[in-house]
Structure 1
Amino acid sequence: MVDRCNAVGVRIYADIVINHMCGGGGTGTGTAGTYFDANTEDFPAVPYSAADFNDGNCYTSSGNIENYGDANQVRNCRLVSLLDLNQGKDYVRGKIIDFMNDLTSLGIAGFRVDACKHMWPNDLEVIFGSLNDLPTSKGFSGGSRPFIYQEVIDQGGESITASEYLSFGRVTEFKYGINLYNNKDKPQYLSYFGESWGMMPDGSALVFLNNHDNQRSHGGGGNVITFEDPYNLKIFTAFMMAWPYGVPRVMSSYYFRYKN
């Protein structure tokens, strides 16, 4: 599939989760047929063991993030009980780098990296900087680097900011869709839309009207334009594609009914 897409100039990026493995507790078999034991943090197919997780670096009583104003908790403790990998270890980094290099060897052009604010920026900089160039055998120009954008939810008011991640990849600009929603009836105010609105620099932003989280009031929430407002969704999708700020991402969603 990837080869066929690359042959006609359609590039594929992978959505990867490298912050954690799974929820705490229980055993089972993954979708690829590999066994895991979350009780003992044993993932023999990688392999990862309890020594590869951040438990010893988290000092909350629950082991989970309890205070988003504490950057150490956000990056070293578990996000809703998800077993938190320690990317500060060379071994853990090496396994992540191998995984990403394996995908690019198949012709993947880049990555959306999930939950980046839950990982230390310096660790991510090492990981991304250690990746192989994209392979010329898959149609990429020599010296081409994987396109990386990082999910960092930053709407202000927390200890971690998106600006900490700008130097080694693009970053999701969550304020973009919220700002458009708040001004959807006042398009005359959009003539300087972008950095002057307090958003990140143009060359660092990955922009979108909504995503899988905030269209369901998750992932930082906020009012966003979704399929439930088809007129404005069309208008502002066109605006996003034409307006010279950031790299746009179009969200295509099926109908759903939100339930608490």
Structure 2
Amino acid sequence: ISPPNENVVITDPSRPWWERYQPVSYKLCTRSGNESEFKDMVTRCNNVGVRIYVDAVINHMTGSGVSAGTSSTCGSYFNPGTRDFPAVPYSGWDFNDGKCKTGNGEFKSYNVAYQVRDCRLLGLLDLALEKDYVRSTIAEYLNRLIDIGVAGFRIDASKHMWPGDIKAILDKLHNLNTSW
């Protein structure tokens, strides 16, 4: 399924599919429904043998071109300009801004691994996945989804993350829910 976590609301163009890939928080609240509706959908699908795989956006948060405010699917305040995402919470300490060695913080070449993994992708704010706090916060989100009953994940933008960081996050996850 599309990312189930809170995302920015884009109005120009009106509500494009890719707004779902610009997280504001890990609250389960999108134009597809709220947390109780998500839980109901997962349970109903599992009860008839349909397993749910979540598209997990864990590399970044929304970024440039988005104004501060509450224009998000749950109404949470966020400010990409100051790296402030209090509904998570993330702050400037949780992003890779200082690690990228390109002039503007954007990656320039897919042939340079550190640029792909330590720089911003299309202006999206790149999370510092080597930090235990960031890893634990992401793992808590994924564990909540596992506990609800999802069967697995597609990790969006995985090529933009160091393999060791992905492994460290996955090592913190619960076993899958065996209720079904």
TM-score scaled by length of structure 2: 0.74
1:3-152 correspondence to structure 2 within 5 Å: 3-24=43-64, 26-29=67-70, 30-136=72-178, 138-139=179-180
Output the amino acid matched with 1:21: M
Q: Deviations over 1:16-35 (max 9, x none)?
A: 11010002252122212211
Deviation at residue 93 of structure 1 after TM alignment: 0.2
Cα distance, 1:135 vs structure 2: 2.2
Separation in structure 2 between the aligned mates of residue 102 and residue 33 of structure 1, nearest angstrom: 21
Provide the rounded CA distance (Å) in 2 between the counterparts of 1:114 and 1:135.
22
- Which amino acid letter does the alignment assign opposite residue 176 of structure 2? L
Provide the rounded CA distance (Å) in 2 between the counterparts of 1:132 and 1:43.
Answer: 26
Matched residue type, 2:138: I
Tell me which amino acid in the other structure corresponds to 1:28.
Answer: G
Separation in 2, partners of 1:67, 1:107: 38
% same residue: 57
Aligned residues: 138
Q: Which runs of 5+ in 1 are unaligned?
A: 140-260
In the TM superposition, residue 77 of structure 1 has moved relative to its aligned partner by 0.4
Rg: which structure is higher?
1
Between the aligned partners of 2:69 and 2:126, the Cα distance in structure 1 is: 18
Matches of 2:82 and 2:154, distance apart in 1: 29
Q: CA RMSD in A?
A: 1.0
Q: CA deviation at 1:133?
A: 0.6
Deviates more, 1:125-134 or 1:42-51: 125-134
Judge conservation of contact 2:136–2:172 (CA < 8 Å) in 1.
Answer: no
**Shift >4 Å, 4+ stretches:** none
SS at match of 2:149: coil
User: Hey, what's the Cα distance between the residues in 2 that align with 1:135 and 1:57?
Assistant: 37
Task: Give 3-state SS (helix, strand or coil) of 1:36's partner.
Answer: coil
Amino acid at match of 1:66: K
Q: Compare relative contact order (CA 8 Å, sep 6+) and give the higher one, 1 or 2.
A: 2
Unaligned runs of 5+ in 2: 1-40
